[in-house]
Structure 1
Amino acid sequence: MRIVTRERAIAYRLHVNHLVERLPVGSHGEAAYVGLQDTAPRDALLGLHARMVGCTPGDWEHPSLIQTYSPRAAVYVLPVRDFGVMTLGRMPLDSRRVDELAEQVCETLNGQERRGAGIHGLREACASGRIAVRWDTTSLWAREVRRPDIDVADARRELCRRHVHHFGPTTPKVFAWLSDPRLSVQRFAVAAEGGA
């Protein structure tokens, strides 16, 4: 049995999350690969700067990046190309509530970007992949986006794989806390059996 020390686990995580050697200029998508929490004072920008050479103050809104709510109700910055993995990947196994909330939020938005304050169900509806947000540290704006073209089961498996690869060694309980506290432990076990 292999013993993984705390020091080795930390060294591994620093390496795979590009915190040992910074990525080249313009590597926004790779720097934000598993999502960067964006709480005040613009933490996602600090995360980008730690991972990528030549980061500028406006890089948090680079066209290759998008923002949405995480399951822990914080805004995250992530690659546009991975929006489906990071949203649909955390859909509950019974997604009816999220789908209904997303429909209501989209009706409220009515095709416009609007201030997010007071929009009922906005945070939870973001798991639908239909809603993106833009937070500039003073205001939050929400807009409807096209739902990503990825199978929900595939998105769940990929989210689990990324969690194991970037935050391992880990446990189903930790994955559940980070993704969806309702049924993620079961999802972790299913994804792990499928080769995660």
Structure 2
Amino acid sequence: MTTTVEITWDAASARRAERQFLAGPAGAGTPVAEVAGAMLGAHAQVLSAAEVSLGMRADGVTRADVRAALWDDRSLIKTYGPRGTVHLLPARDLPLFSAALTAVPSGPSPFPPGVRLTEEQAGQVVAAIGDALDGRFLTLDELSEEVVARTGPWAGDRVMPAFQDLWPRWRQVMHRAGWAGTLCFGPNRGRKATYTRPLPGNPETDPGDAPAAFVHRYLHAYGPATPQHFARWLAAPPGWATTLFGELAAAGRIEEVRFEGTPAWVAAGDTGFPEGPPRGVRLLPYFDAYVIAGQPRERLFPAAAYQRALGGGQAGNHPVLLVDGVVAGVWHQRRRGRRTTVTVEPLVRLTARQKRELGEQVERVGEALEATPELLVGEVTVGPHA
């Protein structure tokens, strides 16, 4: 009779920290793209947050290194990733992300019938975006003109509600162009973002097997996890995720374990865990991968952290202070020229060692952002996303 492996929260969080370079940073010279790959992408709606996510995980990495990887050697791609949000992804992984993300069933459109695109129209827009961006860098206005010219006036109808404005209809599937590999961000032109078509990659995974490969990558970084955890991280239909996990279990590709007394999954054979818990103090920015994917959320955000650092149960709204692998405070940085003031609000009493580590983390934030940091310990008075 097979005995199901029992895994504690401490062991799981310790392994997650190790595999995401939070137990100890990647050594000098480690490619930035390798660090991003270990996280399954760095959230980059705000580029400086992605720069901090990567910088806190790799010795000596600064925002200049991240931007060089994006715009010079192009080992990183800025595009739409999990949940349809902007991420920095390793260029070598783009074929896998594209095949996996396009395989996720789309949910019902949030827009009224008169605003929506049909599936045929959506396909036309995605193809038009790729054609327009092939070998070119276009601003959003320039891309909009090209899409309308290649599809029809219907694509340019300003009917899509967004930020107290109305956007052209075609923009509701812009993220799908990113998933399809026909669009990514280019370097800014002045204050305006530009878009281009990614360089073609060499897929190492059969597109038909991409969802399974993606589950393996996710479980390696964030397991043990349930189908519901995976669906939440990906913003995928829970029923689809449950079916996918069932197929992988039947094929012997994932293995059931007991995680804090409940069934969860790891990649088959990947049942080695440290004794845990992780030790040390870390500062993580908005929407860092560790807090977005870490489940169960009530264990990652214990006690007062659940109210202070989550927004309606959503992780990522506040930069967080981690102490021994769990959220134990929030922080905020305000930059003025070459200086940045980092205000940290701990929710627990820090030991002398933890205070020293906090000071080191603040110095690391400054190094990553190429700024001279100052630490203030006190209440963070700004709200989410500030």
- Considering the TM-score relative to the shorter chain, is it more than 0.5? yes
Instruction: Tell me how far apart the structure 2 counterparts of residues 129 and 184 of structure 1 sit (CA, whole Å).
Output: 23
Alignment match, 1:154: 209
Aligned positions, number = 195
Deviations 1:150-191 (A, max 9, x none): 331233222111100100111112212223514344334334
CA 1:172 to 1:11, structure 2 compared with 1: closer, same or farther past 3 Å? Answer: same
Q: Which residue of 153, 166, 178 maps to 1:126?
A: 178
| 1:106 counterpart = 2:106 | no
CA drift at 1:18: 1.1
RMSD: 2.7
| 1:81 counterpart = 2:92 | yes
Q: CA contact under 8 A between 2:91 and 2:201: conserved in structure 1?
A: no
CA 1:186 to 1:131, structure 2 compared with 1: closer, same or farther past 3 Å? Answer: farther
| 1:144 counterpart = 2:197 | yes
Mean CA deviation greater in 185-194 or 53-62: 185-194
CA drift at 1:87: 2.2
Q: Structure 1: any 5+ residue segments left out of the alignment?
A: none
Deviations 1:41-96 (A, max 9, x none): 61211111121111122222212211111232321111111111222221126797
Q: Which residue of 36, 39, 46 maps to 2:42?
A: 36
| 1:60 counterpart = 2:66 | yes
CA 1:16 to 1:102, structure 2 compared with 1: closer, same or farther past 3 Å? Answer: same
Which has a greater percent of helix?
1
Instruction: Tell me how far apart the structure 2 counterparts of residues 3 and 135 of structure 1 sit (CA, whole Å).
Output: 48
Mean CA deviation greater in 125-134 or 165-174: 125-134
Q: CA contact under 8 A between 1:88 and 1:155: conserved in structure 2?
A: yes
Q: CA contact under 8 A between 2:129 and 2:182: conserved in structure 1?
A: no
Q: Structure 2: any 5+ residue segments left out of the alignment?
A: 107-118, 142-167, 254-266, 268-386
Alignment match, 2:14: 11
| 1:2 counterpart = 2:5 | yes
Q: Which residue of 23, 26, 34 maps to 1:23?
A: 26
Mean CA deviation greater in 40-49 or 93-102: 93-102
Which has a greater percent of strand?
2
Q: Which residue of 225, 236, 252 maps to 1:170?
A: 225
CA 1:180 to 1:87, structure 2 compared with 1: closer, same or farther past 3 Å? Answer: farther
Instruction: Tell me how far apart the structure 1 counterparts of residues 252 and 138 of structure 2 sit (CA, whole Å).
Output: 40
